[in-house]
Amino acid sequence: MAPESTMSQAKSLPPAAAPRKALTLFDASLVGPAIGDAFRKLDPRTQARSPVMFVVYVGSIMTTLMLVLSLAGPGAADSGFILAISVWLWFTVLFANFAEALAEGRSKAQAASLRGLKTAVMAKKLATPKHGTPWLPAPGTDLRKGNVILVEAGDVIPIDGEVIEGVASVDESAITGESAPVIRESGGDFSAVTGGTRVLSDWLVVRVSVNPGETFLDRMISMVEGAKRQKTPNEIALTILLVALTIVFLVVTVTLLPFSLFGVAAAGAGSPVSVTVLIALLVCLIPTTIGALLSSIGVAGMSRMMGANVIATSGRAVEAAGDVDVLLLDKTGTITLGNRQAAGFFPAPGVTEQQLADVAQLASLADETPEGRSIVVLAKQRFNIREREMGALHAVFIPFSANTRMSGVDIGERQVRKGAADSARKHVEALGMPYPAGMGRLVDDVSRRGSTPLVVADGARVMGVVELKDIVKGGIKERFAELRRMGIKTVMITGDNKLTAAAIAAEAGVDDFLAEATPEDKLKLIRDYQGEGRLVAMTGDGTNDAPALAQADVAVAMNSGTQAAKEAGNMVDLDSNPTKLLEIVEIGKQMLMTRGSLTTFSIANDIAKYFAIIPAAFVGTYPQLKALDIMGLSSPDSAIMSAVIFNALIIIVLIPLALKGVRYRAIGAAALLRRNILIYGVGGIVLPFAGIKLIDMVLSALHLV
């Protein structure tokens, strides 16, 4: 097809979707729908999913019915008092619904933004999988697995695929939220492209890897929408505990009515406690705070994971991340930067360092790899050795080969080589020269420092060793120390020899390492740790990682990785950053910490309510109970009303904490427990006393009771 046709077709393609917008905590686009959802959630079928709040819901209905009865005739309590109690009980239910709806709204917004990326575009379908061959326009929805398409600068990639030819800059901000473009090219670990992203420069020939409806975007949407409703094992266990506490308080409250009737009859004075007061007492005593926020904590945890550009298949995966106690981390790209750089020249006996640098630079002049370029630069920096033109030397570049494990140049009859130690030995011996005895010691010394040794030979003469150092990422040692304080073991996995692996492991501060690792070794290591009762997390991006990912408790697949790896993992990192595993663990722990802290706070809250409601409810029959009114509340009605109002308002106050999560701190379990008890246990006792007293003062000042 003609170039003009190509240009016109490219212009007809719609632009890629805008980058995902970050939502604030109380974003206007979330609050409005959440208020509407709070009322829609008053459906009994919805309320029944939360046993604790269902009790409050039933109590609200009962007080409303008693209000109607009191308006029809004299009742056991004042109509105004019943009205106030009923209104605040409904507020309690609505506030709980609002918290859940606000958390769900964030997930819905995330799913909607992802759904907006599914733009119908025309694809350039190639009959022959080769750039420059004719193409025909075809709707993106008609593409099938195995089809080959062309995408050029300005085109939106219509569907997921694998680059089989070309290299191009791609804008993935719509998926990852990252504005910087990424390079996608054929071969290697960065050949995967995602539908909905846009090519900024050059061109790509892409083989479609999925059918419509099975794309990564489709999976992301189903993950975000499907995960938020699933209760995690810890959440289920906590729900059972809360139900048990609710049943206990329900039995206690029910028995108080006949007790009150008997007490009044025996004393011949006072009046029995009203059903309205008993309902207020029950609602205040059961763990309504954590019951109201439990669901929103789980949903918010999923949202925070999504905010970190990680898609989790379920809340179970997020929770498991919080319980992880072993991290398996690849060396290259995770612990180290991944680009080895020349760090030193170590000459053989009888060779000067400058002579070694000169020959090493000569062998690297045509080597465009980062390692090769770093050798040229280091020789120039150390000895001011200028680069030479390969053409002027009439040199022939010998590229690296997996068979020879060497590269270099041929200048006439002169053979200059650099490569692995054993390959260099074979090369020298093949030329009829002995391999220097001291070279083995030099190679071992470099390996012990965690570096990679390259032996340089000029013909049959061994010149020495070039040290290639893989730089450990800045700050990674401190992060590993934090994980250690939390009781998490870090294990480095590498294909390097044991000497190199041990050196890098010591420099990075990991607890253990697995050297010369194969896929089978990874799988065995995971099973061994799981056999000890540990939860294991790991990352992977290749098909060979799929078995280990499937076995791990938390398996994070890279977005740029293979389809097999993505399917084996229970999380997908959109940024394809292996270090993200550390952040995932932190988010998981933060969710567990938030749930534990708010549970502690909720249970501690009850103590103040004992001193507020119980004396108020029975002081008419037993005046001695006035001594328990340590807050000095103005009246029994005011005490009960203040406790109910505080019980409702505290839910609203804690919504930001439930959605944002408790601040993560890298401390041990014992220290974390002490901090939790001090802040949320003691704080949960003190705050209600102050809050109830303040509300009582306001009610009295306004003459509302």
The vertex-46 CA angle with 45 and 47, nearest 5°, equals: 95
Residues 537-556 have pLDDT tens digits of 988 776 677 888 888 888 88
Residue 2: per-residue pLDDT: 38
Tell me, what's the pLDDT at 391? Answer: 64
Q: Which residues of the chain have pLDDT under 50?
A: 1-19, 227-228
This prediction has a pTM of 0.69
Q: How confident is the model at residue 32, as a pLDDT?
A: 86
DSSP for residue 138: E
Half-sphere exposure of 593 (CA within 13 A, CB side): 28
The Cα 164–Cα 186 span in angstroms is 5
Burial class (CB in 10 A: 0-12, 13-18, 19+), 177: middle
pLDDT of residue 230: 58
pLDDT of residue 644: 92
The reported pLDDT for the residue numbered 21 is 54
pLDDT score recorded for residue 17: 43
Region for 40 from its dihedrals, namely left if φ exceeds 0, alpha if ψ lies in -120 to 50, beta otherwise: alpha
Do residues 274 and 633 touch, judged by C-beta distance below 8 A? no
**CA 206, CA 190: separation in Å to the nearest integer?**
13
330 is catalytic: yes
Q: Which of 37, 325, 330, 358 is catalytic?
A: 330
Q: How far apart are CA 403 and CA 428, in angstroms?
A: 16
Residue where the block lists tokens 């609002």 = 98
